[in-house]
Amino acid sequence: MATLILSDGTTFTGQPFGAEVDTDGEVVFNTGMVGYPESMTDPSYRGQILVFTYPLIGNYGVPSEELNEWGFSKNFESEAIHVRAIIVAQESRDFSHFTAVSSLHEWMKKHGIPGITGIDTRALTKKLRERGVMLGRVTQDDTNDPSKSEHIPDPNADNLVAEVSVTSPVTYEPQLAEGTHPVATILAYDCGMKRNIIRSWLKRGVRVHRVPWDYDLATSSLKYDGVFVSNGPGDPKQCRETIAQIQWVLERKIPFFGICLGNQLLALAIGGDTYKLKYGHRGANQPCVEEGTSRCIITSQNHGFAVDETLPSGWRVWWRNANDGTVEGIRHESGQFFSVQFHPEAAPGPEDANYLFDECLRVVTGAR
């Protein structure tokens, strides 16, 4: 038996799968129906125990861990599993998919990640919605010892971005026809960047300089047309160095685009504020409305923090969540600096917002 113990002493007991080890973290839930390999390898889940609300997980297995021609993962959102554990209603050892090479159980066992199956995930999710996300501990027994819910460290107290960022610059060249050149060069701050973001730039013919979260632009010799800041884990206020670099970019009127954590860091860089959501937005079915229009798109999301409504002069709320009204994007009146809280690159999820990469390119190429 294995048990999930929440910080308030509540326990959920089920059967172990994957690696039979103990762990702890922040317990969050994801409402997506598909995409467990992408979610589990998303660096934004660093330090978290992930509850899947969809009742059957593992039925299409796990694809290969091969790298692509650029040297990063071909099939996942990073080269490692970043969740500390997963909690499911039913885990399937039987799988069927033309890309699958392993069961979810074997993949998790290989990487030392525990799971619990046979949990009433509806009851667990309801508790998290009512009480808010909580710290939790996975133990490989059926104990109800309340002392095990004590002294669970909060991963958000650490700089998780520093744990998942690249440590030195890497440049990726797009595959182009002979005699042609990249349409633009983007300097991308890797705060835990999902690999489909890199793929999204490369397939548009963009050269990407992927740099560490604390990379100093003032001393950089890299040439670029615009700056991008990626998604990433944890509390945005931990990323003071990245915030300072965004301010440097804005002062020099260099085109800027941010996704997820990049949206929060842009808000902090301009003097705005961020706050922690009660239970966050995690899934592939979040509707967002563009302010001042009737456009509504369905988006993929994974965040536990949000941008406060109050913005300085010259800035406005660009997108808003149709479910709870929270800010989902901000934009400067010049049109040169903007960001979104959701994930235009999807992986997993709908691609309604994929056009925002093209919108960024139009700004970047027009600013040359």
Name the residues annotated as catalytic.
260, 343, 345
DSSP label at 221? -
Q: What are the two backbone dihedrals, phi and then psi, of residue 15, each rounded to the nearest 5 degrees?
A: -100, 140
Contacts of 303 (CB under 8 A, 6+ apart): 44, 231, 260, 261, 264, 277, 280, 281, 282, 341
Tokens of 147: 């002392």
Q: Which amino acid is at 179?
A: G
Whether 84 and 95 have beta carbons less than 8 Å apart is answered as no
* Dihedral over Cα of 127, 131, 133, 135: its sign: negative
Question: How far is residue 22's CA from residue 315's CA, in Å, rounded to a whole number?
Answer: 46
Question: How far is residue 1's CA from residue 142's CA, in Å, rounded to a whole number?
Answer: 6
Contacts of 310 (CB under 8 A, 6+ apart): 272, 273
Q: Which helix (H) or strand (E) holds 122?
A: helix 121-131
Question: How far is residue 318's CA from residue 330's CA, in Å, rounded to a whole number?
Answer: 5
DSSP label at 73? B
Tokens of 215: 């990379």
Whether 83 and 38 have beta carbons less than 8 Å apart is answered as no
Contacts of 360 (CB under 8 A, 6+ apart): 226, 228, 255, 257, 338
Q: Nearest CA to 59 among 24, 15, 100?
A: 100
Question: How far is residue 24's CA from residue 5's CA, in Å, rounded to a whole number?
Answer: 9
Tokens of 27: 């317990």
